[in-house]
Structure 1
Amino acid sequence: MSEANTFRLAIARTGQFIDSQGRPQSFSEADLDAIAASYKPGKLEAPLVFGHPAVSDPAYGWVKGLKREGEKLFAQIAQIPDEVRKLVQDGRYKYVSMSLMPDRKTLRHVGLLGAAVPAIDGLGPVSLSGGGDAVTINFAQGDGKMPTIEELQAEVSTLKIEREGLKEKLADAEAKVTRLAS
């Protein structure tokens, strides 16, 4: 797995995490081994992409192999254009997100993340200058789309309104308890 112009990225690690849809997920060394063992680039290569794209978006590199070392799963990625390496070097895309098929063993793609928060923390930033470690996992299911900033802001606003309503109900209930206790 070491050819010129390939880059080794950590794309997962063992542990328990919350995926992009709020569900708990966990990976053991055996799970990472199963992902690596099921990966057959000669049959179907997983692309390196930006975020979690639609089916017709272009690839910006190709996963040539997967290997677990200790508690991490590494991807060997080749054919990355200079422009993409520069975006990573400039800090525009600091993390990666591994997307799996619903069987949790088949690699769908490795997505470079810009503003999105990775589900797996603690693996460090992406480096396309040699053999650097990277991060993360999205566990995308269905269309694999990440919410937009506007969608997240709308959800936060809805939750704030809901929180205020719950505060009012709590105050009403406390007042009722006080009246009944008197």
Structure 2
Amino acid sequence: MGERKDAARSRAAILAAARDLVAGPAAARPGELRLSTVAREAGVGQATLYRHFATREDLLRALYDDEIDDLVAHADRLLEEYPPDVALERWFAQLAAYARVKLGVMAVVEASVWRDISARTPGKLGQALGVLLEAGRTQGVLRGDLDPRDVILLSWFLAHVEEEEWAARVPRLLDVLLDGMRSREA
């Protein structure tokens, strides 16, 4: 049983290191992600990294999927703690953080691999958004005419914000988006 726990810890450390390298303060140059650097930052040997991820693309695919899965699960956790409109606002903050990782991933992934890993995203995000929107409609705090695809399309601006303008622009744009989603009948 200890071996599985060690393997899970190693995998998590590798994904965390890759996340930091593509989106954190010490982000790699666009288009660059060295597996040897990921292994060193994760505190694992290269053989351990390759046991989990045979190629850089495999690592990036797993990182991307991990981010999406976390984002989807985050919707339910937020609804347990907050009213639907506040949960949606906090979910969007997490979406923005995810978008930063996505920008880093896109910079190092070939177009064909990107199409493959992004094809599943709208369905997964749609499920999370559906839960948040339905809770908000039920409580009368969110508009009733929105569906998950509307929100996904509206939030795509996150993929186009430049790093140097991120801190100033993203919070303001998320406020505008959320304001437009709130019910005016309350």
Given the two structures, how large is their TM-score scaled by the length of structure 1? 0.26
Is the strand fraction higher in 1 or 2? 1
Is the helix fraction higher in 1 or 2? 2
Bigger relative contact order, structure 1 or 2 (CA pairs below 8 A, ≥6 apart)? 1
Given the two structures, how large is their TM-score scaled by the length of structure 2? 0.25
Query: Looking at CA atoms only, which structure, 1 or 2, has the larger radius of gyration?
Result: 1
